[in-house]
Structure 1
């Protein structure tokens, strides 16, 4: 019998080599996608009069950093976003647990939260600008209104996942409500809280940009509109790129890892220092 063929990047015993793993892994795929995007962007910029290519955008971004506009406006936006998200998490977790644990709260606020999910961030940005004017309040409230519904709907789903028999047993043994919340409900909703925060961050960050675009004298959204009104598209695209890169890095580096760790019990993953039983066998 002839020896089986060995595919490129595969060792003689059938194991995947590091080279093939790098090419087909998440990093290799992401790098390939980024290269394809840059090539397409350069091609579009070459033949499109109103589409700035990567090089003019990078030059505009470097100019904003050298003038100090990037760090100043980004710090302002981050302060607003941090305050809005902190309040969103507190309010969203409390409402989510209440809606998922109580039929009364579900009847009172369940449909209201669905309405909040249906309203896009641009509507909240316009309304908050009309209500609060050109101040820090409008962007912060926009972040809250954009993010809270996503946190609520995920936390409520986690609260509903608590086995009813466990709650009934705790009630039959007269376990205080605080202890039931701490030892039965909160452990069940931890992963859902992280998932809700992940979606809330994306929606809240979009709301912040739009709110600063419509009604702010500083921040990332204001600076993007500044270059848009000046008809300087490289500067406008540079600030949009700042916005997108920050959102992607936050999601991939922080939120995705937190979500994976929070749902490790559900996915059957093992800790890095403790291999699973199947691997040990």
Structure 2
């Protein structure tokens, strides 16, 4: 079974690459570019002077993920520590943030903050906050009731219970929120940069669209795919396994 899964994981992408090559041979370069041309542009966006756009997008996304996690977690903790705010947070604020489309925030970001880093970071943060809130809220709901009851026998302080019991137990959910936010953040960031940035992969894609440079459009997609895959494999997977070992459960 393990060998079959490994073989499928290898043969699947190879088959997709072969189909791409075949489609490129039978299509206009403006429609389906050659894989080799896309590979060259991908290398440019990752390792040459043009990589500044890629890493600018990365910094913006990391900043937005941190802000979204802090704000989303803060709102959830507020709802738990001050029960009177629970309906406001979960039934008013969360549905509002969850329903506004990314394109709407992107346009408003440009109107409010102009073209630059602030607009992109604010837009991405606003889109990611609901993802963090939902993960943290589910984590709060699934905390070990027996462990919390034992903690209450030692202290009645909600603050102490929050930071000494609940926060450590919530770490797998924090990782899940960060993991989801990082991948979604790339999708949102490119939209925001498309409309309101002087640098970043979204700007690269917009310029490529205007110049009918299909290889560069494909390359920006491949760059995002490579970065997300590498971070998943070498950052999030080891962290998930670490939390799973500590908790004695499954991976986050």
Pairing 1:176-215 to 2, within 5 Å after superposition: 176-215=157-196
TM-score, structure 1 as length reference: 0.78
Q: CA RMSD in A?
A: 2.5
CA shift for structure 1 position 243:
1.7
Paired residues of 1:58 and 1:238 also in contact (CA < 8 A): yes
| Alpha-carbon distance in structure 2 between the residues aligned to 1:31 and 1:100 | 46
Paired residues of 2:135 and 2:177 also in contact (CA < 8 A): yes
Q: 1:170 to 1:58 in 2, by over 3 A?
A: closer
Partner of residue 61, structure 2: 81
Paired residues of 1:209 and 1:221 also in contact (CA < 8 A): yes
Greater shift in the superposed pair: 259-268 or 146-155: 259-268
Pairing 1:112-123 to 2, within 5 Å after superposition: 112-123=93-104
Paired residues of 2:61 and 2:124 also in contact (CA < 8 A): yes
| Alpha-carbon distance in structure 1 between the residues aligned to 2:97 and 2:48 | 39
| Alpha-carbon distance in structure 2 between the residues aligned to 1:136 and 1:160 | 36
Task: Structure 1: give runs of 5+ residues left out of the alignment.
Answer: 1-19, 270-281
Greater shift in the superposed pair: 54-63 or 189-198: 54-63
Paired residues of 1:146 and 1:200 also in contact (CA < 8 A): no
Deviation string 1:95-152 (CA, Å, 9 cap, x unpaired) is 2333356542320111221332333433322221222120110111122112111111
Partner of residue 127, structure 1: 108
Q: 1:204 to 1:40 in 2, by over 3 A?
A: same
Partner of residue 10, structure 1: none
Partner of residue 31, structure 1: 10
Higher gyration radius (CA): 1
Paired residues of 2:62 and 2:182 also in contact (CA < 8 A): no
Paired residues of 1:142 and 1:204 also in contact (CA < 8 A): no
* Of 267, 272, 276, the match for 2:249: 267
Task: Structure 2: give runs of 5+ residues left out of the alignment.
Answer: none
Deviation string 1:51-81 (CA, Å, 9 cap, x unpaired) is 1121221233345567611x21122222222
Between structures 1 and 2, the one with greater helix share? 2
TM-score, structure 2 as length reference: 0.86
* Of 52, 57, 63, the match for 1:72: 52
Higher RCO by CA contacts (8 Å cutoff, separation 6 or greater): 2
| Alpha-carbon distance in structure 2 between the residues aligned to 1:249 and 1:203 | 15
